[in-house]
Amino acid sequence: MIDTLPPDPRLSVLEGPPEAHVSRRRLRACHECDWLVRLPPLHHGQSADCPRCGHTLSTRHYRPAERSLALAIAALLALIMAVCLPFVSFQVSGIGNRIVLTQTATSLIGMHQPLVAIGVVLTTIVLPTVYLLSVIWLQIGLLRRTLLPASRSIARALSHLHPWMMADVFIIGALVSLIKVAGMAEVSLGLAFWAFCCFALLLLLATQSLDADWMWFSLVGEPTAPEGVVTGARASPQGLTGCPTCGLVNRLDAEGKGRCRRCGERLHARLPHSLQRTWALLAAATLLYIPANVYPIMITTSLGHTEPSTIIGGVITLWQHGSYPIAAIIFIASILVPVSKLIAMAWLCLMVPRSGELQAVARTRLYRITEFIGRWSMVDVFVVAILVALIRAGNLMSIAPGPAALAFGSVVVLTMLSAMAFDPRLIWDPPLPRYRQSASEKNADVPPPSSDRKDVAHDH
């Protein structure tokens, strides 16, 4: 049983980098290749990367508590303005409509699409609000030099919330929908639109400014590294693993399980049933991708004439009307990205037993790209949500969501979950065909040279 450290309310904000407060430099096990390194001393503006795969292990910021707190408060104020003020309006033939941001979800509920509405409001308003309030809570406690209640639990939640906040994707969806409407009616942007643009930018800056390594050291400190650790080698053969939440290197039990001594996160040498779970999620996403493209994603009524539109049909229509940039965005986000992600994740699962170290670097980069681009497929769902709320002029002009909206949103969620279920460290696990012995070396019983580099993380 691995002991957990009790929270110490007397811990205060660090006056310097964490490395200056420990007698020996701290260990990190890369989350993408399982390489064990000692972090070098970092100053603000510097980062430490894994020497094996290039994954960023830690980034140091100048005055991280003040920086994160200021950005989080500014982003929260911008979101309040975006929710309260008019978002956008349109007018055609003397008939118009004006909406606020929350109507993009409530209109979907009125159109019998509650699950899509929940997804829209969660990713654009609820989860970002929870994230920003959590950052403010933590940083106020650190600046007051007395931690507020539940600080460790809140800090753990931050890393889990981050992938599901899609304010920046919503902005792209809003721009696409407004350009589509501009060809049919007069569109006016409200103050809430510009406030939401500021919110999306500030939220991005707030997430990037959060110095997780510094924050966890300020919250709980850092226990000494396990004894007998060999750096410049893989962590799992030594019975070690790095916490995916706070980064602390922990020793696992005989079954390869445990809990982080610092944050309490569940630990595994490798994610349990990673490939099986990834395959299952990919299969479900593939099955749902068929109705997502066969059925209409939205139904347009214009002058009493109703016309259903599929994803690919909407791309073709935009292209024929000369809206080439918008057609390209929808094609890339709604067709190219989901298909590419399904193919890439399936290929990575197939190649896990066949990886060599040179191929592992390229495959790890492919995994990073695949994980990053998955969320951008939500553009089409946000386009539907905005158009359904905005275009409501009866038989003159109105838009309703089609059955493909839920199917396509489910595809996006499932592909994101498949990337999270896949453990990239499997790409680097042996057997790696890195060396072939010659006949003379075999006869002389000469051991092959190790390709493991005894390196530490690089400064940038």
Strands (E), 283-353: 298-302, 305-309
Determine the pLDDT at residue 356.
66
Question: What is residue 393's predicted lDDT score, i.e. its pLDDT?
Answer: 66
| Backbone angle region of 380, left / alpha / beta, with phi > 0 → left and psi within -120 to 50 → alpha | alpha
pLDDT of residue 6: 45
Q: Is 232 within a domain? A: no
3-state secondary structure 15-28: CCCHHHHCCCCCEE
Q: Is the pLDDT of residue 387 over 80?
A: yes
pTM comes to 0.83
Distance CA 175, CA 194 (A): 12
User: Total structural domains in the chain?
Assistant: 1
Provide the pLDDT confidence category of residue 394 given band limits of 50, 70 and 90.
low
Q: What is the pLDDT of residue 343?
A: 94
Q: Is residue 441 part of a domain?
A: no
Q: Mean pLDDT score of the chain, rounded to an integer?
A: 83
Q: Could you count the other beta carbons within 10 Å of the beta carbon of residue 77?
A: 15
d(CA 189, CA 174): 11
* Whole-number Å distance between alpha carbons of 136 and 67: 11
Does the residue 231 lie in any domain?
Answer: no
Q: CA-CA distance, 180 to 97, in Å (whole number)? A: 16
Q: In this model, does residue 211 exceed pLDDT 90?
A: no
Is residue 372's pLDDT more than 80? yes
Does residue 105 lie within any of the structural domains?
yes
pLDDT of 257-303, one tens digit each?
A: 889 988 888 999 899 999 999 999 999 999 999 999 999 998 887 76
Q: How confident is the model at residue 358 (pLDDT cuts 50, 70, 90)?
A: low
Residue 323 confidence (pLDDT): 76
Rounded average pLDDT over 339-364: 85
Is there a domain that residue 41 lies in? Answer: no
Q: For residue 258, is it within any domain? A: no
d(CA 133, CA 142) in angstroms, rounded, equals 14
Cα 388 from chain centroid? 27
| Whether the Cβ atoms of residue 411 and residue 432 lie closer than 8 Å to each other | no
For residue 73, the enclosing domain spans: 64-210+273-424
218 vs 457, residue with greater confidence: 218
The predicted pLDDT at position 355 comes to 63
Among 94-103, 134-143, 435-444, the range scoring the smallest mean pLDDT is: 435-444
* Residues 299 and 187: beta-carbon distance below 8 Å: no
| Confidence class for position 25, pLDDT limits 50, 70, 90 | low
Bridge-partner residues for 58, per DSSP? 48
Query: Number of helices and strands (H, E) in the chain?
Result: 17, 16
- Other beta carbons within 10 Å of 294: 13
The predicted pLDDT at position 213 comes to 85
Question: Is residue 361 a part of any domain in this protein?
Answer: yes
**Sheet containing 298-302, strands listed edge to edge, beginning at the edge strand earlier in sequence:** 305-309, 298-302, 397-401
Confidence of residue 193 (pLDDT cuts 50, 70, 90): very high
Asked whether residue 438 is assigned to any structural domain, the reply reads no
259 beta partners: 266
Rounded to an integer, the average pLDDT of 374-400 is 84
Contacts of 277 (CB under 8 A, 6+ apart): 271, 418, 421
